[in-house]
């Protein structure tokens, strides 16, 4: 098998990236099929470490990762790089997958761990499926580390990060999340309160800061897979594999909520995969660095926004759907062109396949993107290797992950 660079060079020659009405043009469905074959073959043949992904290369080559779990906290990049989670606390092992009481959780459960005031690095004793009774409301300085077990948060309300900081969530399968609420839920050892109906997100960040979501697999939730609103900032969303969902990621509460103007989010090394429709992400206000992601499916658009967000797209790979009128990566929402033409959206070094195109706007000066730049982008030709391990990993003790 050739390396990803040579594969992409070959496909660039063989398969034109624009669609025309000429009868000599290749069938768009065949183009998509061939490119998908190359992507999947590349993923199957890549090593687990030394891929050029700076997060993974920081820890995955270590066969003693299980004894050095907290090293992960030093591997973050982007705007959420200072999230330390439970690095300075004790290891807590989840032994009980039940969640029978959201007000008085039992020791050994996940809920008991996340509400504690002290920092904790939370791991799992074995594979488990956790169906939460209500939202899992996290306290500050917590890491949920799913490595070494196959952990699913599914079939009930999911994770809420509300007005807390320093959260790391790594290695979980989060799917089929539902609404919760109209119930009392504990959020610290000394406090519980009445919760109204929740949105049903996979991960909801509400006024949170210094948050890092890494190597999770997310799909099929009631509202968003990952939403960050109400003044949330200093967030990195990396190495996740997202599939089978409509409104994938909302960053910014509403066009009228101006407190989101300081929001900074890095979206890096993720794989946006099959069955996704839109919002990868959808941004309002704020500054967003979308870097080295692999977009292999969308039905409406990939990246969109309103209320003048600054979007810096660098080194991504965009594979457009074969439908002629769905090739555009971007969607400027809720405004006329004479308004959105001033929003700072740029594409730099992105690889556009099968007719994909990005509609840039704004002044184009590099100084305009200073607050939306959080790390150095790798060449888009390396996206296949960089994102080859996206999603929850199957790490085994005593071997590199």
Please count the other Cβ atoms lying within 10 Å of the Cβ belonging to residue 93: 12
For residue 288, give the nearest of 300, 272, 301, 306 by alpha carbon.
Answer: 306
Contact assessment for residue 54 and residue 214, using Cβ atoms and an 8 Å cutoff: no
DSSP 25: S
Question: What pLDDT does residue 49 have?
Answer: 66
| % pLDDT > 70, the chain | 87
Within 13 A of 25's CA, how many CA atoms are on the CB side? 15
Question: What pLDDT does residue 368 have?
Answer: 81
Question: What pLDDT does residue 312 have?
Answer: 98
Instruction: Please classify residue 401 by burial: count the beta carbons closer than 10 Å to its beta carbon, then call 0-12 exposed, 13-18 middle and 19+ buried.
Output: buried
The angle subtended at Cα 132 by Cα 238 and Cα 209, nearest 5°, is: 40
Please count the other Cβ atoms lying within 10 Å of the Cβ belonging to residue 281: 29
| CA-based torsion, 271, 76, 219, 283: positive or negative | negative
User: Which residue, chain included where needed, has tokens 């008085």?
Assistant: 104
195 flagged as catalytic: no
Q: Which stretches of the chain drop beneath a pLDDT of 70?
A: 1-49, 364
Name the pTM for this structure.
0.88
Paired strand residues for 165: 209
Residue of 60, 111, 279, 284 with catalytic role: 279
For residue 144, give the nearest of 157, 130, 163 by alpha carbon.
Answer: 130
Question: What pLDDT does residue 397 have?
Answer: 87
d(CA 209, CA 235): 7
**Helix (H) or strand (E) run with residue 323 in it:** none
Question: What pLDDT does residue 37 have?
Answer: 52
- Say how far residue 205 (Cα) sits from the centre of its chain: 12
Question: What pLDDT does residue 140 have?
Answer: 98
pLDDT tens-digit map of 345-401: 999 999 999 999 999 999 867 778 999 999 999 999 999 999 999 999 999 988 999
Question: What pLDDT does residue 51 have?
Answer: 80
Label residues 188-212 b or e (16+ Cβ within 10 Å = b).
eeeebeebeebbbbbbbbbbbbbbb
């Amino acid at each position: 098998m050739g390396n990803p660079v040579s594969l992409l060079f070959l496909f660039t020659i063989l398969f034109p990236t624009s669609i025309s009405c000429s009868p000599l043009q290749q069938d768009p469905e065949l183009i998509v099929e061939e490119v998908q074959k190359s992507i999947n073959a590349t993923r199957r043949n890549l090593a687990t470490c030394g891929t050029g992904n700076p997060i993974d290369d920081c820890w995955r080559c270590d066969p003693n990762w299980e004894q050095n779990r907290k090293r992960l906290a030093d591997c973050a990049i982007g705007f959420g790089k200072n999230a330390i989670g439970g690095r300075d606390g004790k290891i807590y092992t989840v032994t009980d997958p039940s969640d029978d009481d959201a007000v008085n959780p039992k020791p050994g459960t996940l809920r008991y761990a996340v509400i504690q005031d002290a920092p904790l690095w939370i791991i799992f004793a074995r594979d488990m499926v956790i169906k939460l009774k209500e939202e899992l409301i996290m306290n500050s300085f917590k890491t949920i580390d799913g490595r070494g077990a196959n952990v699913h948060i599914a079939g009930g309300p999911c994770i809420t990060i509300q007005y807390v900081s320093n959260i790391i969530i790594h290695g979980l399968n989060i799917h089929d999340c539902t609404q919760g609420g109209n119930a009392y839920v504990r959020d610290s050892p000394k406090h519980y309160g009445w919760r109204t109906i929740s949105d049903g997100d996979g991960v909801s960040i509400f006024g949170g800061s210094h948050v890092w979501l890494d190597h999770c697999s997310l799909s099929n939730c009631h509202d968003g897979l990952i939403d960050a609103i109400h003044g949330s900032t200093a967030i990195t969303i990396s190495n996740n594999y997202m599939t089978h969902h409509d409104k994938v990621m909302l960053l910014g509460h509403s066009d009228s909520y101006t407190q989101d103007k300081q929001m900074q989010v890095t979206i890096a090394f993720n794989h946006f995969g099959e069955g996704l429709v839109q919002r990868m992400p959808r941004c309002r206000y704020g500054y967003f660095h979308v870097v080295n992601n692999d977009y292999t499916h969308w039905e409406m658009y990939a990246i969109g926004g309103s209320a003048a967000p600054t979007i810096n797209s660098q080194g991504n790979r965009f594979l457009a759907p074969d439908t002629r009128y769905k090739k555009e990566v971007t969607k400027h929402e809720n405004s006329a062109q004479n308004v959105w033409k001033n929003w700072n959206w740029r594409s730099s070094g992105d690889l556009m396949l099968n007719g994909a195109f990005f509609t840039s706007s704004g002044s184009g000066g590099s100084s305009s993107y200073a607050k939306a730049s959080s790390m150095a982008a790798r060449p888009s030709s390396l996206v296949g290797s960089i994102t080859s391990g996206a999603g929850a990993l199957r790490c085994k003790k005593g071997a590199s992950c």
